Chains A and B, each alone.
Chain A
């Protein structure tokens, strides 16, 4: 007979404290709904401020969770896990959200939409991402993924602005709708994959799958087949979230149509959530399961192919883009490819830790750089979506020298030039790939990086070497987005120049 515990017993047994970074953020967000309700006309000040404070509170709570793998804690009877992996990614998510909130404040002011639910949805989505990086169970992965995604669907459609003719511009709605349909579709794959894995192993808990899997494989029954197909479906479902080829098709459409801060946010937090789940599921749960001779996980080939396709397609198609947001969208596909390289490397026994650490550093560098680049794009883009073409930044170095300098550094970092964070990330990922024996993949990565220089440097060339038509670009942005750029720039440079900083931060991460 199951006896229901008291609340106090529940709290202690379930170790709720270690879920505080996410749960506090949700609780704070629900309070913020009330604040927004009563703030009246002042809400355009109070809600974003409250959102920033909430991020701060969550940040502080996260510091208590941040622990080496040996001291990891699980909560809610093994559903959640709190370790260095969680702690590090939580910080990245929180900083990314902060930057997105700063950019949003600017965007909403300029667009004349003062709606508090915007920030509420942003925070909820980030909380979803935080639950996802803490997920230790396939069910939690799914629920957290939905918490991450559903607010993003709404946010993508948020830009209901009338154009010059007085008609509603439908691009944003279209973007949100597309994202929603495809997202729901891919979630179905995820759930189905989780169901197959459950069917084969009898559990959805990630560490338990690890324990059960060898026995399943030894039995060589049809259960092994379900496990393999389930893995494939999980890769599909999460591959959509991180936008790797061939699940990338939605990305340029959605990125271009969504409000720029939302694009920036989803290009980072959704990817972090997806990659965290992929790492936890593939590296922790399924690494031992599918070991073929030679100490290589069976899914490595698949992931390698996806990574190579993503690198090639993302980088080559980005070349022919004229719209900056579309270019960044394809570039974000390409960057997902580099993280996939790290994921593939984690499939080799013995290099799981270094590859995971490389992926985390890459994510950190990508977060600062990509958000910074989007913030710069925001400063020159008009709210109706115009002005974001590559020709529109011509002569930026003359009219806005500091902005052009910041953009140059972001472009250098995206290319992976030393003394920027992007280099450190790429270096660690490629080093892990080589260590894992994936030399070919590393070579593809390096070569496509060279290709990427082609379109990133075109931005720099346009800013510095081409003369503008004569009129100087007006300063459209407010101080908030400038702060976002400053923070992103500082991150990009600090982690780039102080080379060991990033690798030291992730040195205690271990999920294998």
Chain B
């Protein structure tokens, strides 16, 4: 297969670069030695938790190599993605035509399971977003990880992470998607626990891994069921094929009283549960806030470019399956859609309330991610497939930006703290590290006034924050959020649908809170005056490090604004003349990923997938403008106008009263999970280990092991003693062979020959007997 010239085969190479980079780094830069962390001059208090530990230090050249190789890998992915995008744009009408290539991977009886790549509109939008976001994260990492002794490991893992994500994006079947999905799970485990010397880091890693694992098992069940019914896992064969969809929607394996659940619904819900885990939706959202224990670029990777996006992306991919049997555009939701709408809207609101009370700069962003993913999930639930995809893209850009800007803030604060410590003007007694009070560079209460010392970070963070809040017209977040609300409103207006109404109200509320906590975060971090010495001296320093950390912010800030303009509705007043004179570009592209209307019309069980974009309506637009501005204004009023003083209580604590600790402690969900799930399963495991493992399994294993050893010995004895013994007896009687052979060895050769003779006779007898029928003829 000529990969370079065949547009259909080229997508195979998209994940190849990062995956290759992973292999090269892993294989070539593993030569390291262990030195005490304190001896290593580059350590300089960057991670105090390492003190006194032996850390592997990789030679400098191999660090440079690992960075170079990692960058080459991701650049190759970017270039090939762009070429693929160009190839896709040459198609007559992408969606109806696709770039696809596959090979028979495993022959199973009559059929072969095919592995392949597919570039359709859903892939295209991800190929626009993922490689750019990943490249920015890589560039940022060069600066952020500059002083870490395990850079090679970091770049290897993050390359693997990127490779897995790209595999997932270009996959043409659910199984390959699941492969990428699981590799990302492993990568996230290793990267969240990257600083595994910290107890909180490895605990967070285990939490993330086990939580997503629960969901993945359910998802795998769904995949298995889908395969058993359809005999294929290829997207196009299932999702673009009305006959298959109809079969799935009309097969009803569960009939419970008057309640009939179709196979499509069961599979759909199982697959959605996979996403609930991966995209951190209630009730499996608990791992995501803890995931910020990893290095900040990893957070950006997990929260924006890869992991959580993968969950929503898989739902977008499989959307026709979820909608089969219902008609979301006329207010008829199937079970999976209703499930998504409820979980999504509830999560969006729940996470937004939690974010309001957080003091950790990354925790706020973590909850906002959960909340925004809830937006997308709810949008999918009400059939707003395109709006969800749109929000996925814009969110990825501004959330990557926000995380990396927050990382810069933390980096700057650490820098400032280090500066204070070194120059001995640590007068601020309450934050002096020697007094047992560990200075937290992520606590927003320790910040303030950073706009003066870190202007680039401030402006980019502001852009990202406004986009997250949905600041009208100029930010990307506005356009995507507005489209979700418009779709919800359309449902309310046209069909009086309760589900649409619920989604509309809950999301509007969540959007309001989003704007408020974002403004609170911006004000606490950058507004007012510095509340600590560290904040006063916070900066990124000069040189390459600061450039590699600020350049990605600037580039992403451009996308945080510009990415929204591809999806301006073509009936939006005034602006449509500039951005969408003929059609809404994003909508135009994405809608073709669904089966054609003419094809589905023949099946009564299938909806018309080709929904038109919601017509312009002033109510949702006004709502989204209003909630955004109101939230921002309130935040400005409370936090920016009257900046927090050092040691002063957060005004929210007074306002919310007893509710505040509840929100701050995430509704005590972690504690409840600890009591209800973790503690009992630990107790059960302990019981099982003591009883089953030691009492039964170990004993059984010992018996089996003994049996095998004994059998082995027995056969050995038979071989050496019995056969040789017989052989010894007979040859003395029959053969009296010359002595020279005997002197060389014990005379076994004769025994062997005797055995051959005996066996020849035996074989002759068996053959004659078994060919008796032939002989008797």
Contacts and interface: CB of A to CB of B under 8 A. Distances in A.
A106 to B, nearest CB: 23
B773 A302 contact: no
A181 B749 contact: yes
Nearest to A182: B752
Interface stretch (A49-57, A131-139, A313-321, A369-377): A313-321
A247 B771 contact: no
B158 to A, nearest CB: 23
A185 B766 contact: no
Nearest to A217: B774
Nearest to A503: B107
Contact of A500 (B104, B708, B760): B104
19 contacts: A185-B753, A228-B767, A228-B775, A229-B768, A236-B760, A240-B756, A247-B755, A249-B723, A249-B752, A290-B774, A291-B774, A292-B770, A299-B767, A299-B770, A301-B770, A302-B767, A313-B715, A316-B715, A500-B112
A320 B760 contact: no
Contact of B759 (A229, A247, A253, A319): A247
Contact of B766 (A224, A301, A313, A318): A301
A305 B719 CA distance: 17
Given A235-B763, A249-B748, A302-B763, A320 B716 contact: yes
A228 B768 contact: yes
B776 interface: yes
Contacts of A228: 764, 767-768, 771, 774-775
Interface in B720-777: 723, 741, 744-745, 748-749, 751-753, 755-756, 758-760, 763-764, 766-768, 770-771, 773-777
B767 A232 contact: yes
Contacts of B775: 220, 224-225, 228
A319 B771 CA distance: 36
Given A182-B753, A246-B756, A305-B766, A320 B774 contact: no
Contacts of A224: 774-775
B771 A298 contact: yes
A213 to B, nearest CB: 10
Contacts of B283: none
Interface in A448-464: 451, 454
Contact of A317 (B112, B709, B712, B760): B712
A101 to B, nearest CB: 27
A454 B773 CA distance: 42
A320 B709 contact: yes
Contacts of A104: none
A225 B763 contact: no
A220 B776 contact: yes
Interface string B111-125: 010000000000000
B767 A316 contact: no
A174 interface: yes
B756 A185 contact: yes
A236 B749 contact: no
A232 B760 contact: yes
B105 to A, nearest CB: 6
A177 B750 CA distance: 12
A503 B104 CA distance: 12
A170 B741 CA distance: 13
Nearest to A294: B773
A180 to B, nearest CB: 10
B752 A319 contact: no
Interface of B: 30, 103-107, 112, 708-709, 711-713, 715-716, 719, 723, 741, 744-745, 748-749, 751-753, 755-756, 758-760, 763-764, 766-768, 770-771, 773-777
Contacts of B759: 236, 246-247
Contact of A174 (B719, B745, B756, B764): B745
B774 A225 contact: no
Contacts of A246: 755-756, 758-759
A293 interface: yes
A219 to B, nearest CB: 9
Contacts of A46: none
Nearest to B104: A500
Interface in A137-191: 170, 174, 177-178, 181-182, 185-186, 189
Contacts of A250: 749, 752
Given A217-B777, A235-B763, A317-B712, A225 B768 contact: yes
A74 B357 CA distance: 86
A302 B766 contact: yes
Contacts of B776: 220
A218 interface: yes
A188 to B, nearest CB: 10
Contacts of A503: 107
B354 to A, nearest CB: 43
A292 B715 contact: no
A29 interface: no
Contact of A320 (B712, B752, B766): B712
B742 to A, nearest CB: 12
A454 B708 CA distance: 9
Contact of B774 (A178, A298, A319): A298
B466 to A, nearest CB: 48
A499 interface: yes
A283 interface: no
Contact of A249 (B103, B104, B755, B774): B755
A300 B774 CA distance: 14
Given A232-B760, A317-B716, A500-B112, 9 more contacts: A224-B774, A224-B775, A228-B764, A233-B760, A236-B763, A240-B756, A299-B770, A302-B767, A319-B712
B767 A499 contact: no
7 tightest Cβ-Cβ pairs between the two chains A and B: A298-B771, A319-B712, A232-B764, A249-B752, A301-B770, A292-B773, A246-B759
Contact of B744 (A170, A185, A231): A170
Contact of A290 (B744, B748, B771): B771
Interface string A287-330: 00111110000111110011000001100111110000000000
Given A218-B777, A225-B775, A253 B719 contact: no
Nearest to B720: A317
Contact of A499 (B106, B712, B749, B753): B106
A503 B108 CA distance: 13
Contacts of A178: 745, 749
A319 B709 contact: yes
Contacts of A312: 715
Contacts of A300: 770
Nearest to B745: A174
A320 B716 CA distance: 8
Contact of B763 (A170, A174, A232): A232
Contacts of B777: 217-218, 220
A246 B759 CA distance: 7
A189 B759 CA distance: 12
Interface string A20-43: 000000000000000000000000
B756 A186 contact: yes
A185 B763 CA distance: 17
B395 to A, nearest CB: 36
Contacts of A249: 723, 748, 751-752, 755
Contacts of B760: 189, 232-233, 236
B749 A182 contact: yes
Interface string A221-254: 0001100110111011000100000110110010
A451 B708 CA distance: 8
Contacts of A298: 767, 770-771, 773-774
Nearest to A500: B104
Nearest to A301: B770
Nearest to B763: A232
Contacts of A305: 766
B771 A292 contact: yes
B707 to A, nearest CB: 11
A247 B767 contact: no
Contacts of B741: 177, 181
Contacts of A185: 753, 756
